[in-house]
Structure 1
């Protein structure tokens, strides 16, 4: 009997995020042949992204790395580096702080987001290079590709997809894969 070898998923160099006509906070994400609905910023897209504006930046952003919840069992296959989210992991979103748009640890008094969320949005959370490698104050922070709220509720500027859609796309993502928001 002949063994069948499973082929590695095709590497996708660019993931496209196209606006959905008539709905400023909705989009379609295309990862190779996979096309899935998504939620984007509550105010839609912007070429002039600012901290707190609720917009998803119109940009080409490389995937850097990601986070996953370890205590919630799920099988994730991806060549992208995923770190386990632990209690006390935070992301600074206070523009005046030296740690702006960086991972920080609790206790941390300046404004921040918790990565270990009760709502599960960051059970899989991929960091896109928006204002990370080269930071500028007030240009926006915590722009992630993460899981969606029920009913495709808008994000604060991120791109969000269903858990099953994230699992389908993850095998094609690597460090440097570009997420291009049109």
Structure 2
């Protein structure tokens, strides 16, 4: 059950939380701050960041996932749930290798979203509805590596079988997980081939992910309603 607490914190797990936690550093000082620690996770702030999702590994492939928002008093928790990471565990982002099932440690922008639903007025992130022929490119020989692209536009070997190291992900094959999906900035701005493609925050599947972070459907839906690109949202993954 989703519960709304007096302080505005929405809990997605059914267990009451303590009063909202605040970071040590006031938001007014953010211009001079490059890092902050939230729920034990080191967050490397971008200029203007006032929304943060932290992912704190707890055990196995489980993690505590929190949404934080900056206020005049500091950073306050707004959402909490139990999420999942990759079957290969966690790895330093720059050392990650494609196909290892590892989730990259570090702080990354939450850039945009895609999924099976049309954008609603409450969603501020740039959003795409999954169409027939849409892929996430994982072909290391493609100029569109780590990008959303339809096979009709060409530029990648969409026909490669899933057993091939350069096969891309047909998004319609993951209707449950990608009902709501948020694109992270891991290996996005300056793609390094073989480091990994398609690290998202998405709806839970049946178990661990292949490197993404996943969370319950209701959490993703609530998060989509709150993320604001003007707040420069980031995800910080720690252990």
- The match for 1:31 is 67
- The match for 1:171 is 225
Structure 2 stretches of 5 or more lacking a match?
A: 1-8, 10-48, 69-76, 153-157, 161-166
How many Å apart are 1:86 and its aligned residue? 0.8
Select the structure with the greater relative contact order (CA < 8 A; seq sep ≥ 6). 1
For residues 100-146 of structure 1, what are the alpha-carbon distances to aligned partners after superposition, in whole Å with 9 as ceiling and x for unaligned?
11122125335110112354111111110011111111111000011
Aligned residues: 167
Distance of aligned partners of 1:159 and 1:118 in 2 relative to their CA distance in 1, 3 Å threshold: closer
How many Å apart are 1:78 and its aligned residue? 2.3
Structure of greater Rg: 2
Alpha-carbon separation, structure 1, partners of 2:217 and 2:121: 11
How many Å apart are 1:76 and its aligned residue? 7.7
TM-score (norm 1): 0.83
Q: How does 1:54-65 map to 2 (within 5 A)?
A: 54-65=101-112
Q: Please, which of 39, 57, 60 is the counterpart of residue 19 of structure 1?
A: 57
Q: Please, which of 182, 196, 202 is the counterpart of residue 140 of structure 1?
A: 196
- The match for 1:67 is 114
- The match for 2:149 is 104
Structure 1 stretches of 5 or more lacking a match?
A: 1-8
Runs of 4+ aligned residues of structure 1 deviating over 6 Å after TM superposition are none
Alpha-carbon separation, structure 2, partners of 1:41 and 1:81: 26
The structure in which a higher percent of residues are helix is: 2
Distance of aligned partners of 1:76 and 1:69 in 2 relative to their CA distance in 1, 3 Å threshold: farther
- The match for 2:99 is 52
Which segment drifts farther, 109-118 or 43-52?
A: 109-118
